[in-house]
A and B are shown apart, each in its own frame.
Chain A
Amino acid sequence: MRFVAVGKRVPRLDGPDKVAGKTQFGADIALPGMLWGGILRSPHAHARIVRIRTDKAMKMPGVVAVITGQAFPTSDGEGVPVLARAKVRYEGEAVAAVAAETEEQARAAVSAIEVDYAPLPYVADIREATKRGATRVHDESEDPKHPNIAGVAETKRGDVEAGFAAADRVFEDTFETPWVHQGFLEPHVSLAAMDPASGRLTVWTSTQAQFNQRADLANLLRLPMSHIRVIGLPVGGAFGGKNAVCVEPIAGELARRTGMPVKVVVSRRDDFFATRPCGAAVMELKTGVKKDGRLVALRARLLFDTGAYPGAQHGVGASLAQGPYRVPNLAVTSYSVYTNRPPAGARRALTSPHVHFALESQLDIIAHSLGIDPLEIRLRNALRKGDPVLGGMEMPYTVAGKVIRTAAERAGWEQRPSRRSRGRKARGVGIAAGHWSVWAGGSSAWVQVNEDGTISVVTGAINLTGTNTSFAQIAAESFGVTVERVTVHQGDTDTSPRNDGSWGSRVLFGVGEAVRRACEDAKGQLAEGLSEEMGVPADRILISEGRVSVRGKAGRSLTLAEAASRAADYRGAIIGAGALSDLPFAVAVAAQVAEVEVDRETGQVEVKRLTCSQDVGRAINPMSVEGQVEGAASQGIGYGICEEYIYDAEGTLLNDNLMDFRMPTSVDHPEYEVALIEEGRDGGPFGAKGVGEPPLVPTAAAIANAVYDAVGVRVKQLPIKPERIVRELSRGR
């Protein structure tokens, strides 16, 4: 198939404004008469709120309103209260909020709110939290034998005990991953204003999910949904951290009470310790294999730290436990565990990087132990078409092996340096793979063909990753016009059709297909409108390469502009709509080979080269896809070697800023090589599927495996700390 727009390398349409600093982010916008919101946060990891006194704060200069937990009788869709009621369950939990005329006045008023706390013992460690007699984060409805279990998911296949009995070798290992921030640079920010005449509330916010925000705000503020308009702003990074409501209900409630616009900007510190970072995990794997490396049984016990309030980690984690491999017998038990930490949010491929760090590290252990090449053991076990995958699906295509082999070939796996080179600096190469299921969810788009033959696309999906550019390519392809003939508009909840949030790598897959279907709808309307005039049935009218012609009759054709303006006469306007929730899950497989250099004396690990391959079905915009792969892999390097929340003995977060929470900088990155495989197609637009999350999945494991290859130290706990490597090396000496 020859494409005119799909598959072309198109620079992001929103790129120039961002580079030039013209994009208006949430912190940049203001309204006349605007007040500033401030939030009082708990200094305790766990305490009873004995009393809150707000009278002093109310009397402070410039203060217009003070609210406490009573303002919000219900919790949000994930069970998180907006302001704590009766108890605080993590350091940083919001307790009260103020609106004042200036930011400084708001800050001063916050510190004038008096709260008496009765501190309680707290639990911060997942293992401790699940022990009998552990401090309970929530008092109600708990199994005393298993405290702090927020959720359990179990999946089974075959007979796992029989599998172990049939195995030649059984391996048992435990792996741990830390709390990390998603690493978005723009802190949470919202501005809310209520129109006193209509009683309608408008909320401008940096969010991944404006329609979900609208539903949550309706519930939290007890307003009809029709009275709320959410305007999703350009987002300065999110990575799952802006899925849920954060300060929107606070800004909304303060705006309602004061009758004035209220803006809340979250500080960097608050963003670190009081929003929804990515939780820690402990993963115990017991794996049975045949001598030739074939996996026969897997028992996994996965513990995800969900922090102080419930989350979805256990369910998603359980669905990923087999990795991109065939596992005939399997039993997975996955828990979300309450601790006195912030409520855990999503981060790029929720729990998949955790689970694959464990799986892929253990597969490496097994390969080395059996004397099988780490590449070979992966190829032998790779999922093929028809293999059962978790969630009751069948693997729709045989592509995993090819993805893994491609990463190895591009990285020169066969020619890699011999292991354990002598000298101060040791080079090592490691491989890992991973997978992620992409669910299209509720997706929709409108398309209008304008009288000049240009195409307008409207969606309600938040453009995080350049998806609007890809939508332009999809629409351009559908009509056979150039990308410049298409404009894409991200509407808000009043002006665009409903969409699920921009998460789960779903936007291009689901909304992109909705755009394509809306284009087909519009083309059908054009054909119908013209069939009488052209004297042929609508199904003989062909719209391609920017022209409208009659199938099989050369010479009779109209430009799209002519056709659109005439059809508008017949129909009023050409407006196509696409809405769907019927796409099957797509399975995205990624594999990476990391080459590292480890300093034997200092233990420092430097990633020198990262080769990434991934099945993307179809790369609508290869430049954009490569950017997603490199971006995700760079996040994986941080996750692998330097990022973690560090707490002191009192449960206080120490590295609550971008200086001390070390993410790699631009000079810390290796050369990335990206190989895109366009094979596994599942009903996305032109065969495309989700690409943004899978490339974070294998990175940390690939690095850990490379470190083992270099110096023989097996790291089972992220991040890979130099200190630990030095300790292990001196022990072995």
Chain B
Amino acid sequence: MAEPQMLQPSTLSEAVKALAGRGAVAMAGATDLIPAMRKGEIRPRVLVNLKGIAEMTGVRRTRQGTRIGALTRVADLLDDPIVAQDLPLLADVAAGFASPQIRNLATIGGNLCNAAPSADLALPLLVVDATAEVRGKGGRRKIAMSEFFRGVNRTALRPGEILTAIVVPRPRRRTGMAHAKLGVRKAMDLAFVGVAATIQISPDGKKCRRARVALGSVAPTPRRAAKAEAILEGQLVTSQLIDEAAEGAASESRPVTDLRASREYRREMTRVLTRRALREAFRRAGKEQP
């Protein structure tokens, strides 16, 4: 592997300029990048280390919601007080992410931009309608999380664009969230099925006002399960309804067979985990203060 040149911009505009160069690749925690380079899957000529860019760090509340800098490390999500309050599901998912060593390096932005079908952190963001803030040559723009993933290791970022932050809308009332995933072992593993769900219930606690279901590892990208959501919204929540929604999610999944699990098993587990996540989300929604 030829040594790539390393650039260390300290502002976003410098970084955008650096990324315009030929063969330039953005780098944050590099926990996906370095293994890919070792395998020869990518051969950058220039590595643009984003870690010195202050405006991409930190978690704070803004008028739009909770802004999580793209450089926020997965380890920081675990014990950030704002995340704990505004999006505890993200902290939960972060706690099961790879291993402590990797969590200490990997960033939320890197996990999303790597766009693995199994991207752990995508699921909680998909079910809260998060938005990606992006900066490129053409200036700033926003991309809905549900539009962000375009294929295996492909995102909606244009060449030279940088994901700078994720904005999560203020938590909704009477909303419960839950996730479930399956892997072979408890750490250092990629989930072969992951599901996150949110349910907002009506003031009487019986109807589903709003539902979000996101699936991981069962399609080329992390994705929402629109059919499952439609089955739930506006309906009286019953165990049968949840079963139907879970069935819907399974039918929307497009899993493949690989060395971790077969297509059939993944589809069946999508149903099982969606049901579990929805039940738990509904239970938690009922516990929220109206």
Contacts and interface: CB of A to CB of B under 8 A. Distances in A.
Interface stretch (B16-24, B86-94, B262-270): B262-270
Contacts of B99: 665
A659 B265 CA distance: 21
B265 A665 contact: no
A601 B187 contact: no
A394 interface: no
Interface stretch (B68-76, B111-119, B178-186, B201-209): B178-186
Interface string A595-614: 00000011010000000000
Contact of B186 (A602, A665, A726): A665
Contact of B184 (A642, A654, A666, A726): A642
Contact of A664 (B185, B261, B262, B269): B185
B272 interface: yes
A646 interface: yes
A667 interface: yes
A78 interface: no
Contacts of A660: 259-260
A723 B186 contact: no
Given A654-B259, A660-B259, A723-B261, A602 B187 contact: no
A646 B259 contact: yes
A601 B272 contact: yes
A668 interface: yes
A723 B262 contact: yes
Contacts of B187: 665-668
A660 B183 CA distance: 11
B188 interface: yes
Contacts of B261: 723
B186 A668 contact: yes
B185 A665 contact: yes
B43 to A, nearest CB: 14
Interface in B180-224: 182, 184-189
A655 B260 CA distance: 10
A113 to B, nearest CB: 18
Contacts of A723: 261-262, 265
B185 A668 contact: yes
Nearest to B258: A654
Contacts of B268: 726
Contacts of B186: 665, 667-668
A662 B182 contact: no
Interface in B239-284: 259-262, 265, 268-269, 272-273
Contacts of A646: 259
Nearest to A654: B259
A602 B272 contact: yes
Interface in B151-189: 182, 184-189
B184 A602 contact: no
Nearest to A662: B184
A645 to B, nearest CB: 10
A602 B269 CA distance: 7
Contact of A662 (B189, B262, B269, B273): B189
Contacts of B262: 723
Contacts of B273: 602
A603 to B, nearest CB: 8
Interface string A631-673: 0000000000010001000000011000110101111100000
Nearest to A647: B259
A666 B185 CA distance: 10
Contacts of A659: 188
Contacts of A666: 187
B270 to A, nearest CB: 11
Nearest to A666: B187
A368 to B, nearest CB: 27
A642 B259 contact: no
A642 B188 CA distance: 13
A726 B265 contact: yes
Nearest to B183: A662
Contacts of B260: 660
A668 B99 CA distance: 13
A110 to B, nearest CB: 14
Interface in A533-559: none
Interface string A709-724: 0000000000000110
A679 B275 CA distance: 54
A655 B182 contact: no
A642 B185 contact: yes
B180 to A, nearest CB: 9
A662 B261 CA distance: 13
A195 to B, nearest CB: 36
A119 B40 CA distance: 26
Contacts of B269: 602
A265 B261 CA distance: 33
A665 B99 CA distance: 10
A665 B188 contact: yes
Contacts of A602: 182, 269, 272-273
Nearest to B180: A602
Contacts of A722: 182, 265
B182 A604 contact: yes
A289 to B, nearest CB: 37
Nearest to A107: B1
A609 B259 CA distance: 28
Given A646-B259, A655-B259, A662 B265 contact: no
A132 B189 CA distance: 42
A602 B276 CA distance: 11
A604 B181 CA distance: 12
Nearest to A648: B259
Nearest to B276: A601
Contacts of A664: 185
A604 B192 CA distance: 13
Interface in A389-429: none
A668 B189 CA distance: 11
Interface string A685-727: 0000000000000000000000000000000000000110010
A534 to B, nearest CB: 63
A210 B189 CA distance: 37
Most buried by A among B99, B261, B265: B265
A68 to B, nearest CB: 26
A649 to B, nearest CB: 12
A226 B136 CA distance: 69
A210 B220 CA distance: 50
B185 A662 contact: yes
Nearest to A606: B186
Nearest to B260: A660
Interface in B122-136: none
A723 B192 CA distance: 12
A666 B100 CA distance: 12
A568 B251 CA distance: 86
A655 B184 CA distance: 14
A601 B279 CA distance: 15
A723 B189 CA distance: 17
Nearest to B189: A662
Contacts of A662: 184-185, 189
A191 B261 CA distance: 41
Contacts of B189: 662
A646 B259 CA distance: 7
Contacts of A642: 184-185
A654 B259 CA distance: 7
A726 B272 CA distance: 11
Contacts of B259: 646, 654-655, 660
A602 B275 CA distance: 12
Given A723-B262, A726-B265, 14 more contacts: A601-B272, A654-B259, A655-B259, A659-B188, A660-B259, A662-B184, A662-B185, A664-B185, A665-B99, A665-B186, A665-B187, A667-B186, A722-B265, A723-B261
Pairs of residues from A and B, 3 with the lowest C-beta to C-beta distance, nearest first = A723-B265, A662-B184, A646-B259
11 contacts: A604-B182, A642-B184, A659-B188, A662-B189, A665-B99, A665-B186, A668-B186, A722-B265, A723-B262, A726-B265, A726-B268
Interface of A: 601-602, 604, 642, 646, 654-655, 659-660, 662, 664-668, 722-723, 726
